[in-house]
Amino acid sequence: MRIRIITLFPEMFDGPFGTSIVSRAVRDGLVEITTHQLRDYTTDRHRTVDDEPYGGGAGMVMKPAPLADAVDDLKINARDAGEPEPRVILLSPQGRRFDQATAMELAARDSLILVCGRYEGVDERFIDASVDEEISIGDYVLSGGEPAAIVLVDALTRLIPGVLGSEESAPSDSFASGLGGRLQGPVYTRPAEWDGRHVPEILLSGDHARLERWRQEQSEARTRERRPDLMEPQTPKSRTRDHQAGDGDTGQ
């Protein structure tokens, strides 16, 4: 999989992508991640990427041309590398809420372009012209799309086949299909007694069938208590602009 990230702050990705599971996946050639400085796509002396909003109001708005030029250039780059057309995702608090199902959907793709907004957001005409989908990581406002892109890349990288070893396998994680999309139950490690607290006896029993039943029961009980919404069948909500389908903004 190839992920290209358009950003004003490429250095924000060095730490998160230079450590742990994502860096191992990069090292093993399972994912290739590159960052692209938006200012490199400006044409004026000051490398301007933003301007005042039409109609007044607070803050600055990101100009459409450098963003669109960056996306076009990276698409050409992808085509030259023999990749399928990348899906263009704008990180935005107004997008479809990111979840495990979306991470799985994105992990199955070969090529993504992630666009990180800043300031008051991006000119709507760029979204109309160049963005396939807007994704939000939650109902709060970040200062920029970079932390959201880091969350998205981390969540989907662990789902790429071969990235996780068997000891850290994803099917038993919360929201995974192995648990029917529910939360994972409690987990314990040695010692069997700590500070007067004991590990549940069943975990020491070696009875795998009982243990599996217990894990499923714990998962269900915890999900009912903490996230009853996950016990209901999920209906996807999205704000998708599928330009590839050629029918413009689906408005969903």
Which residues here bind ligand SAM, judged by CB under 6 A?
91-94, 116-118, 120-122, 136-138, 140-145, 148
Which of 87, 96, 118, 158 is the catalytic position?
A: 158
Distance in Å, CB of 140 to ligand SAM, minimum = 6
133 is catalytic: no
Q: Catalytic annotation on 93?
A: yes
> Residue 84 or residue 138: which is nearer to ligand SAM going by CB?
138
If the CB atoms of residues 94 and 205 are measured against ligand SAM, the closer one turns out to be 94
198 token code pair = 């004991």
CB closer to ligand SAM out of 66 and 185? 66
Smallest separation, CB 80 to ligand SAM (Å): 27
Residue 213 and residue 215: Cα distance in Å, rounded? 5
Q: Is 173 a known active-site residue?
A: yes
* Dist CA 112 CA 75 (whole Å): 10
User: What residue spans of the chain are helical by DSSP H?
Assistant: 14-17, 20-27, 64-80, 100-107, 124-130, 146-157, 208-226
Question: Which of 73, 85, 173, 220 is the catalytic position?
Answer: 173
Query: Residue 42 — φ and ψ, nearest 5°?
Result: -90, 160
Q: Own/partner pairs for 57-63, CB < 8 Å, 24+ apart?
A: 57/120, 58/120, 59/119, 59/120, 60/119, 60/120, 61/119, 61/120, 61/121, 61/122, 61/123, 62/117, 62/118, 62/119, 62/121, 62/122, 62/123, 62/126, 63/123
Comparing every residue's Cβ against ligand SAM, the nearest one is: 117
Q: Rounded to the nearest whole angstrom, what is the least distance from the CB of residue 142 to ligand SAM in the complex?
A: 4
| Token output for 29 | 């050639």
Distance in angstroms (rounded) separating the CA atoms of residues 161 and 178 = 15
Q: Name which of 120 and 220 has its Cβ closer to ligand SAM.
A: 120
Which of 14, 31, 55 is CA-nearest to residue 159?
A: 31
Nearer to ligand SAM, 95 or 185 (CB): 95
- Contact between 1 and 110 under an 8 Å Cβ cutoff? The reply is yes
Specify whether the CB–CB gap between 213 and 225 falls below 8 A. no
Q: Is 120 a catalytic residue?
A: yes
Active-site residue, from 50, 93, 182, 239:
93
Rounded to the nearest whole angstrom, what is the least distance from the CB of residue 60 to ligand SAM in the complex? Answer: 10
Shortest distance (Å) from residue 151 CB to ligand SAM: 8
Which of the residues are catalytic? Answer: 93, 120, 158, 173
